[in-house]
A and B are shown apart, each in its own frame.
Chain A
Amino acid sequence: MQQIHTRTIKLKCVKNNVLGHIDHGIFMSYNTEPILSVRNLKTYFFVRDGTIKAVDGVNFDVLPGQTVGIVGESGSGKSVTMRSIMQMVKKPGRIIEGEMNYRTASTQIDLAEVKPNSHKMREIRGAEIALIPQEPMASFSPLHRVGFQMIEAIQLHRPLSKEAARQEAIDMLRRVGVPAPEERIDAYSWQLSGGLRQRAMIALSLICQPSLLIADEPTTALDVTTQAQVLLLLKELQQEYGMAVILITHDLGVVAQVADYVVVMYLGRVMEQGPVEDIFYRPKHPYTQALLRSMPTVKSVSREPLPSIRGTVPSPFNRPVGCPFHPRCDHAVAGVCDTKTPELRPVGEDQFASCVLYEEQTT
């Protein structure tokens, strides 16, 4: 473990040059190995009416113990990115290209190479990389007790007896703050309230102590007070177990509160990424800026028109040529933005944006 984490930047540069295709010396300013590095990930859906490029060349890294927030509107491809990492893309979708290098002390594997239903992937899913789905109501089986589903997960990955697994499950439920876990373990998911159900889901996903946790809109279905409870719990557990978290959400407030690093997606592409302070205080990409401006907050001036983004998110079938955001962008340059798709460029320390307005600075 230590050995990997203390590798120097230089070693990694060499490594990334071998792997990478967009390495203009980017993604290299930290001195620990990322636990997951996604490179040029492309996941397309081949449907009768054409090809939907749900994820179209996404790059980002997740460091051990870090929380990476992926923000985007509906159709931005944030959930498909998550499904690609878990190798859970449903037909007619397929991962076309790209690498997803997952490294821990014990494993080093390119997830893009692994077959979705292979033994290897099943070993990783749930044990190494766990998922908290968006809708806990739809994710628990209503026919099985919560405990049964937890014990099943434990016994799948660890050689424990049923009794030992049950005890483990009770301990885990207690850890995530479910009151009277000895009784609740025999409850059905529909007998629990929204907040408790999400806590039980967190317990289930953490039961094998994963190194990477993917939380897909974990609090969207919850009320504000419950949302605060769940987010604080996640944060606490992350520190306790030292795992990395990918938090997928559309709520910029949630990202600002919990993420260390932020990836902003739009129509399957990364628009901007950087440390959370940079994204919120020094956003560079016109999309990020417009998104932040258009958001009402509890301290914004009441009843003044918000600077909104014009138009709507285009349908995935007629994606704009060039920069996907250009038809809605106030800074779009005619003849450039509508022809050329910009790549991610460094726009600050650790901060990257894919916009032509920043391309001059790099040359």
Chain B
Amino acid sequence: MSKLPVLEVKNLKQWFPVRAGWRNKIVNHVKAVDDVSFSIYEGETLGLVGESGCGKTTTARCIMRALDPTDGKILYYAEDTQQPIDLTELRGRELMDIRREIQLVFQDPFTSLNPRMRVLDLVGEPLVIHGTLDREARVQRVIELMRSVGLRPEYMRRYPHAFSGGERQRISIARSLALQPRLMVLDEPVSALDVSVQAQVLNLLLKLQNEFGLTYLFVAHDLSVVKHISTRVAVMYVGRIVETAPTEQLYTNPKHPYTAALLSAVPVPDPNRRKMSELTGEVASPANPPSGCYFHPRCEFAVDRCRTETPALREIEPGHHVRCHRADELDLPGVDILVEDIQIEPPPQKVTLS
């Protein structure tokens, strides 16, 4: 993998004002995203995980410039010149040009497709907006796109209601592929799908990435799914990134107590390894976060320093960043990958029929 960055997020902040009183004065801020920095490199998949309300979707929306970030930089490196363009400063026409290269896939395939538009129009709409092709070429392109996501082109004159959840998500993916983007922001693309369909969509995403050389930012709450698709993972907690590392390293050797707690809370589909450990307490409110390290009220390793001093995101191993004062001294349990996988015996082959 080349080490050229596609996107670099620097100290991104997205605060939402809380207003009260008869003059509608701003009394507080919900710090949905508070000082988030990360880079995405060409051809990789960065998984962004966290619990609900931790700011992962807000981060994704800031990158798409669906929101105006309060502070910070989002640098996009153009493919040819490698010159950084700050997305937070773009507007109008310039922004529209960049949006060809960064595309978003939404979480819910049931609400993100207009029920009054046919698949042909849904998938072809980006082509109309960016005005690249005439009508005939557009239909050809839609057929091509539908094939590449595994939909039958004959269905292109149908409406979204005629498709199942998995198929609709394929339509969304085809639509975002229409302009041949470089970076795709996938916001929980499989969480609304059934288990048996989830695997299909994950396989499709992997296939498309290899085929078109895409770079993914994969936002999800499901640690198993993120493990499966990502090359690198960033863990968020209350608007901040607490740990980033290459996937294997993060799962086997987590350095932040929150990452370790998240990993141990995942129910493993193995009845002989019943050990869900309990993380006490509740997620802190981004409107009124605790002092020092945001995780300290729930952390079993917290010391006095954690209560007063906010830890910085620092690199403790090459490529492994942690926001914890005690990362060096702690020995945290990761996922036990040494345990053998369950081998499933296939059913007997029936030859004769009675």
Question: Residues of A with Cβ closer than 8 Å to B?
Answer: 73-74, 193-196, 223-229, 231-232, 250-259, 276-277, 280-286, 289-300, 302-303, 305-310, 312-313, 315, 328, 331, 333, 335-336, 355-358, 360
* Contacting pair B195 A291 (CB below 8 A): yes
Is B288 an interface residue, CB under 8 A from the partner?
A: no
Q: Quick one: given A302-B247, A333-B353, A357-B350, are A253 and B345 in contact (CB under 8 Å)?
A: no
Out of B203, B346, B353, which one reaches A306, CB within 8 Å?
Answer: B203
Q: Kindly report which residue of chain A lies nearest to residue B338, judged by CB atoms.
A: A299
| Cβ distance A298 to chain B, nearest Cβ, rounded Å | 5
CA distance A256 to B72 in the complex (A): 44
Q: Quick one: given A227-B267, A256-B268, A302-B248, are A283 and B164 in contact (CB under 8 Å)?
A: no
Is B282 an interface residue, CB under 8 A from the partner?
A: yes
Contact partners of A258 in chain B: CB under 8 A: 274
* Contacting pair B229 A298 (CB below 8 A): no
Question: Residues of B with Cβ closer than 8 Å to A?
Answer: 45, 51-52, 164-167, 194-200, 202-203, 206-207, 221, 223-225, 227-231, 247-248, 251, 261-263, 265-272, 274, 276-280, 282-283, 335-337, 339, 341-342, 344-350, 353-354
* Contacting pair A357 B347 (CB below 8 A): yes
Out of B196, B199, B278, B279, which one reaches A296, CB within 8 Å?
Answer: B199
| Cβ distance A177 to chain B, nearest Cβ, rounded Å | 9
CA distance A335 to B354 in the complex (A): 12
Out of B196, B199, B347, which one reaches A355, CB within 8 Å?
Answer: B347
| Cβ distance A252 to chain B, nearest Cβ, rounded Å | 5
* Contacting pair B267 A251 (CB below 8 A): yes
* Contacting pair B347 A289 (CB below 8 A): yes
* Contacting pair A252 B266 (CB below 8 A): no
23 example contacts (A-B, Cβ-Cβ < 8 A) are as follows A224-B266, A226-B282, A232-B276, A255-B269, A258-B274, A280-B271, A289-B344, A292-B269, A294-B198, A294-B199, A295-B198, A296-B224, A296-B225, A298-B224, A299-B336, A302-B229, A305-B203, A306-B199, A308-B196, A309-B196, A333-B350, A335-B353, A355-B347
Q: Quick one: given A256-B267, A297-B268, A302-B228, are A229 and B279 in contact (CB under 8 Å)?
A: yes
| Cβ distance B50 to chain A, nearest Cβ, rounded Å | 9
* Contacting pair B337 A303 (CB below 8 A): no
| Cβ distance A283 to chain B, nearest Cβ, rounded Å | 6
CA distance A286 to B221 in the complex (A): 29
Out of B194, B337, B342, B349, which one reaches A74, CB within 8 Å?
Answer: B194
Out of A227, A283, A307, A358, which one reaches B265, CB within 8 Å?
Answer: A227
Out of B196, B230, B265, B350, which one reaches A294, CB within 8 Å?
Answer: B196
Q: Kindly report which residue of chain A lies nearest to residue B267, judged by CB atoms.
A: A253
Q: Quick one: given A291-B196, A302-B248, A357-B348, are A252 and B269 in contact (CB under 8 Å)?
A: yes
CA distance A356 to B224 in the complex (A): 33
Out of A251, A257, A294, which one reaches B274, CB within 8 Å?
Answer: A257
The CB with the most chain A CB atoms within 10 A, among B164, B228, B230, B248, is that of B228
* Contacting pair A282 B345 (CB below 8 A): yes
Q: Quick one: given A229-B279, A292-B344, are A298 and B196 in contact (CB under 8 Å)?
A: no
Contact partners of B342 in chain A: CB under 8 A: 280-281, 292
CA distance A195 to B281 in the complex (A): 10
CA distance A43 to B153 in the complex (A): 37
| Cβ distance B307 to chain A, nearest Cβ, rounded Å | 20
* Contacting pair A297 B202 (CB below 8 A): no
Contact partners of A74 in chain B: CB under 8 A: 194
CA distance A303 to B52 in the complex (A): 25
* Contacting pair B227 A300 (CB below 8 A): yes
Q: Kindly report which residue of chain B lies nearest to residue A335, judged by CB atoms.
A: B353
* Contacting pair B268 A277 (CB below 8 A): no
CA distance A232 to B354 in the complex (A): 49
9 A-B pairs with the lowest CB-CB distances in the bound complex, closest first? A253-B267, A308-B199, A296-B228, A294-B199, A223-B51, A228-B265, A73-B194, A306-B199, A309-B196
Contact partners of A328 in chain B: CB under 8 A: 196
* Contacting pair A225 B202 (CB below 8 A): no
Contact partners of B251 in chain A: CB under 8 A: 298-299
* Contacting pair A232 B278 (CB below 8 A): yes
Contact partners of A73 in chain B: CB under 8 A: 194-196
Q: Kindly report which residue of chain B lies nearest to residue A314, judged by CB atoms.
A: B164
CA distance A198 to B263 in the complex (A): 22
| Cβ distance B178 to chain A, nearest Cβ, rounded Å | 23
Contact partners of B336 in chain A: CB under 8 A: 299
Q: Kindly report which residue of chain B lies nearest to residue A257, judged by CB atoms.
A: B267
Contact partners of B277 in chain A: CB under 8 A: 228
Contact partners of B268 in chain A: CB under 8 A: 253, 256-257, 297-299
| Cβ distance B179 to chain A, nearest Cβ, rounded Å | 25
Contact partners of A195 in chain B: CB under 8 A: 282
* Contacting pair A223 B196 (CB below 8 A): no
